Amino acid sequence: MKPTEIEVKASAAALECGPDVLPPDLEDPSVVLSVLEADQVVAAKQRTHFGRRNLSLGMRVMLWGLRFYVLVMLVLVIVSAIRALHPAP
C-alpha cells in the first residue's frame, strides 16, 4: 500500500531529528504526528476509553472491605482526635 502524504512527510521529519538539526516547524501537523503516539493526541484520547473491567467476586469483596475499613476508621479517628483536643473534665 502506498504511504499516505502524512506518513511520507512524517518519515522525513523523523529522519531530520539529528543532533545538529534545527527544530522542525511544529506548525506542520505531520511533524507533530511523527513524534507523538496515536493516543497521545488530545483529540484521539477524548474519543477512546479503556472500557469497564469485569470485577471478580473476590475483587469486589476486597474493594468493599477496604472502603468499609476507611470509612469506619475515619469516623473513629476524627472522634478520637476531637476527644484528644477536648478531654472530658
Partner 1 sequence: MKRRQDAPENSATALPLGPAHPTTDVAAASPLARDLARLLTHEDVDRARDRWAVSRARRAEGHSKLGGRLSLVWLLVGPGVLVFLGENDAPSMLSYSATGARFGIGFFIPFVVLTFAMGLVVQEMTVRLGAVTHRGHAELIFDRFGRFWGLFAMGDLVLGNFLTLVTEFIGIRAGLGFFGIRPIVAVGAGLAVVFAAITTGRYWTWERITMGLAVFNGLFVPAALLARPHWGSVAYSLLTWTPLPHGRIFDILLLILADIGATVTPWMIFFQQSAVVDKGMQPLDIGAGRFDTLLGALLATVFAIAAIVATSPLFHHGIDASQFQAAQFAEALEPWIGHVGAALFALGIFEAGMVAAIAISTSSAYAFGEVLGTGHSLNRPLREAWPFYSTLLGSALTAGALVLVPHAPLVFIVLIVNVIAVLAMPPALAFLLLLVNDREVMGEHVNSFWENTAAITVTVLLICAGIGFGLATVFRTS
Q: Which of residues 37-56 bind partner 1 (CB under 8 A)?
A: 37-53, 55
Which three cell numbers mark 59? 475483587
Q: Are 52 and 32 in contact (CB under 8 A)?
A: no
Cβ at position 8, least distance to partner 1 in Å? 9
Interaction between residue 89 and partner 1 (CB under 8 A): no
Can you tell me which of 58, 85, 88, 89 binds partner 1, judged by CB under 8 A?
85
CA-CA distances (angstroms) from residue 20 to 9, 17, 24, 58? 20, 8, 12, 56
Which three cell numbers mark 48? 477512546
Classified as helix, coil or strand, 21 is coil
The binding site for partner 1 (CB under 8 A) comprises 4, 6-7, 9-11, 14, 17-19, 21, 23-24, 26-27, 29-53, 55, 59, 62-63, 66-67, 69-70, 73-74, 76-78, 80-85
